[in-house]
């Protein structure tokens, strides 16, 4: 943590940051500062900046824990992606982030860290919303559930929000994560996004402070994310322990949809398949001609499992697995070349997962690349802050998403 903190308050930052903003941040913890007298801000700017540099270059014992946490939160949004999120949430909150100006009225060239700190101090609700969206888009591994019907809208009002937050808090408390639970609610076209901030399990660690040893215990904040599309009846959950994902889905179904067991059908998580790849064999490639903005799709990794089946019991067993990678061409074709005579099917080989790399044309010489791992039956893992809809369409067009009729799902649930 200390290395990251010192990177945030590097000499460039301390030379250029608005001293008024920095003083306001430090004043929040003035009783816990050791070795920094805030009266330095009443004097010359040069002396104040030097004193701040010396302070942050000194012992970490001088930093209050809250100050370190605040600086890390600001640092998370203190980059180009964070600035974009702050601007998007400013529009949503009807806040105008105006450029800072000098005494002559000229714009000051402030990097994203400066903007993030200003928003953190002046617009905390906006900052929290942007921080929530960062947690939402940073998730790559999402558990997905499909409901027994499509077109069931979430009932979003104060009563249902309170019920969801209350039941979620009980779930986290049962896992010894404390009762704290804050939910951010965000609409995105036909999708509702929730970011649930909750406590982690208690961490106890010895520290050295003021020349003496002591033990502190703290509960770090963690984030769970949830997205629901009413049109598709699909729920995505991230940041929740595997053993709790079904329970979390049930909380949402009960409180927000008034449909207990909505995501409890036997095939609610039977969403992805690699059977089209196995049927086509080692010559399989993904067709992307329908999307002119996709330059190229590579298969960069495959894992194949050697399966045997007990003819009496029908039980399957994995004898061994082979992982093949090829970052330049086609890993599936390389696997076939290296393993002559292999075939996919019962009592033979079966694909465990497939990793593809999608190259999107964004108007630059170099395309934007997104890596996607498909692992049936329930996992499509990729960074979803960009191109999610186009990637899902690519998977559907190539038969890697299972088509599921809601009526059949309803019958299965019954």
Taking only the tens of pLDDT, the chain with its 414 residues reads: 444 555 566 667 777 778 888 889 888 888 878 778 888 888 888 888 888 887 877 666 667 767 877 887 888 888 888 888 888 888 888 888 876 665 665 566 667 888 889 999 999 889 888 888 887 766 667 889 999 999 999 999 999 999 999 999 999 988 888 888 888 888 776 788 888 988 888 878 787 766 778 777 777 778 888 999 998 899 999 888 888 999 999 999 999 999 999 999 989 999 999 999 999 999 999 999 999 999 999 999 999 999 887 777 778 888 889 999 998 889 999 999 988 888 887 778 999 999 999 999 988 889 999 999 999 998 899 987 678 889 999 999 999 998 766 554 444 444
- Let me know how many helices (H) and strands (E) the chain has, helices first: 14, 12
CA distance 355 to 335: 13
The domain ranges of the chain are 2-135, 143-256, 275-398
pTM: 0.69
Which letter, b or e, does each residue of 147-164 get, where b requires 16 or more Cβ atoms within 10 Å of its Cβ?
A: bbbbebebeeeeebbeeb
Element (DSSP H or E) covering residue 186:
strand 181-188
């Amino acid at each position: 943590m200390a290395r990251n903190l010192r990177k945030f308050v590097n000499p460039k930052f301390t030379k250029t940051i608005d001293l008024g903003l920095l003083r306001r941040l430090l004043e929040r913890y003035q009783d816990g500062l050791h070795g920094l007298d805030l009266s330095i801000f009443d004097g010359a700017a040069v002396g104040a900046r030097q004193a701040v540099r010396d302070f942050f270059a000194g012992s970490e014992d001088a930093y209050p824990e809250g100050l370190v946490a605040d600086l890390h939160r600001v640092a998370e949004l203190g980059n180009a992606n964070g600035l974009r999120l702050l601007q998007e949430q400013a529009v949503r909150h009807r806040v105008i982030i105006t450029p800072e100006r000098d005494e002559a009225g000229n714009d000051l060239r402030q990097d994203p860290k400066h903007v993030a700190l200003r928003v953190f101090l002046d617009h905390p609700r906006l900052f929290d919303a942007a921080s929530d969206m960062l947690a939402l888009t940073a998730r790559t591994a999402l558990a997905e559930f499909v409901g027994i019907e499509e077109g069931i809208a979430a009932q979003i009002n104060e009563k249902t929000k309170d019920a969801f937050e209350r039941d979620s808090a009980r779930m986290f408390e049962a896992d010894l994560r404390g009762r704290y639970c804050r939910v951010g609610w965000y609409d995105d076209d036909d999708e509702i996004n929730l970011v649930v901030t909750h406590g982690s399990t208690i961490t106890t660690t010895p520290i050295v402070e003021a020349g003496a040893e002591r033990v502190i215990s703290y509960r770090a904040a963690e984030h769970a994310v949830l997205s629901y599309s009413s049109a598709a009846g699909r729920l995505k959950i991230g940041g929740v322990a595997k053993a709790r994902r079904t329970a979390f889905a049930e909380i949402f179904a009960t409180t927000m949809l008034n449909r207990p067991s909505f995501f409890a059908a036997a095939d609610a998580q039977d969403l992805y398949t690699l059977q089209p790849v196995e049927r086509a064999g080692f010559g399989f490639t993904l067709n992307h001609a329908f999307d002119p903005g996709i330059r190229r799709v590579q298969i960069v990794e495959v894992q194949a499992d050697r399966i045997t089946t007990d003819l009496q019991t029908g039980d399957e067993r994995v004898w061994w697995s082979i992982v093949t990678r090829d970052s330049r061409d086609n890993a599936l074709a390389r696997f076939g070349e290296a393993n002559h005579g292999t075939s996919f099917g019962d009592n033979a080989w079966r694909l465990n997962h497939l990793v593809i790399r999608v190259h999107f044309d964004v108007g630059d010489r170099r395309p934007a690349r997104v890596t996607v791992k498909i692992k049936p039956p329930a996992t499509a893992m990729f960074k979803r802050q960009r191109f999610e809809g186009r990637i899902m369409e690519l998977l559907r067009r190539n038969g890697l998403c299972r088509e599921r009729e809601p009526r059949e799902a309803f019958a299965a649930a019954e």
